[in-house]
Homo-oligomer: A and B are copies of this chain.
Amino acid sequence: MKEELLSCHEKIKPFIHRTPVMNSRLLNEISGADIYFKCENFQRMGAFKMRGAAHAIANLSEEEKARGVVTHSSGNFAQGVSLAAQSQGVKAYIVMPSNAPEVKKAAVRAYDGEIIICPPTIEDREANAQKVVDEKGATFLHPSNNTDVILGQGTAALELLEDHPDLEYILTPVGGGGLVAGSALAAHFFGDNCKCIGGEPMEADDAWRSLQSGKIEKNETSNTIADGLRTHLGHLNFPIIQQYVEEIIRVDEDEIIEAMKLIWERMKIIIEPSCAVPFAALLREKEKFAGKKVGIVLSGGNVDLAKLPF
């Protein structure tokens, strides 16, 4: 996958920002580690999802591009697909549940995505997306279980390793598994014995359980503030995670909120709750990371300012 990652990066460069890497003397003091934060909250549309979406669309044939793309999402992937499609002159259909926040719909519309409203069940979402595939010939894009998407998400860690080749760890959140799988590939092929570790909420620890059981587990409930991490792994990213991810560290809700607050207050940047999970994992296992050079992918910054946990 080494060549594929490099070629993916070249393909998406016109459509993404090369995001900055920040560090913080204060957070290094608090954690005992030497941390390099890859600021995907500053990515176009505010999250790393732009990378995978841009790659999946760039790899379509001209015929496929002419017929458009479709996804179902009420989160960052909806915006990522809309903006990535707009940037490449492709039509995007976004299936959204009827209870999706108005602000999320407005963001999709601002990027020229066509919204299809459906009842708020996963079955309805999938059925409506399939309908667009059948009727329009659009290509369905899965937010995490798609090899092009996995490679695209891996380019954030690739850039981080270009800037800091001697990182000993790269930490990312684990939701659907696209980001952690792509980052693990980047760490394996471009790091110098760099290990990739995932952070996951206790309240939605399906990936941790999946690594234990050897099969894809789901969450019965997912009562976590890290709303981007409630989904489960897929058959394309799970084998990569099994092979290349060192471990998954689980964290409590109060640890997530505390980590988020530290980053807001000390680094003066806005990150989503999901995004605070790997830093929370580092703080939970300080001894492991003491004195180590650690990269953390800050995955996104799209929060509702009216609903902050502090």
Contact = CB atoms under 8 A, between A and B. Distances in A.
Nearest to A24: B42
Contacts of A308: 305, 308
Given A261-B305, A310-B305, A268 B268 contact: no
A299 B245 CA distance: 41
Contacts of A271: 268
Nearest to A45: B26
A137 interface: no
B268 A305 contact: no
A270 B266 CA distance: 10
A46 B25 CA distance: 12
Contact of A264 (B22, B265, B305, B310): B305
A254 to B, nearest CB: 16
Interface string A290-310: 000000000001000110101
A31 to B, nearest CB: 16
A239 interface: no
A234 interface: no
A20 interface: yes
Contacts of A82: none
15 contacts: A20-B20, A22-B42, A41-B268, A42-B267, A42-B268, A46-B268, A264-B305, A265-B305, A268-B270, A268-B271, A268-B301, A270-B270, A305-B308, A305-B310, A306-B310
Given A22-B42, A264-B270, 15 more contacts: A42-B267, A42-B268, A46-B268, A261-B305, A264-B305, A265-B305, A268-B269, A268-B270, A268-B301, A269-B269, A269-B270, A270-B270, A305-B308, A305-B310, A308-B308
Interface of A: 20, 22, 41-42, 46, 261, 264-265, 267-271, 301, 305-306, 308, 310
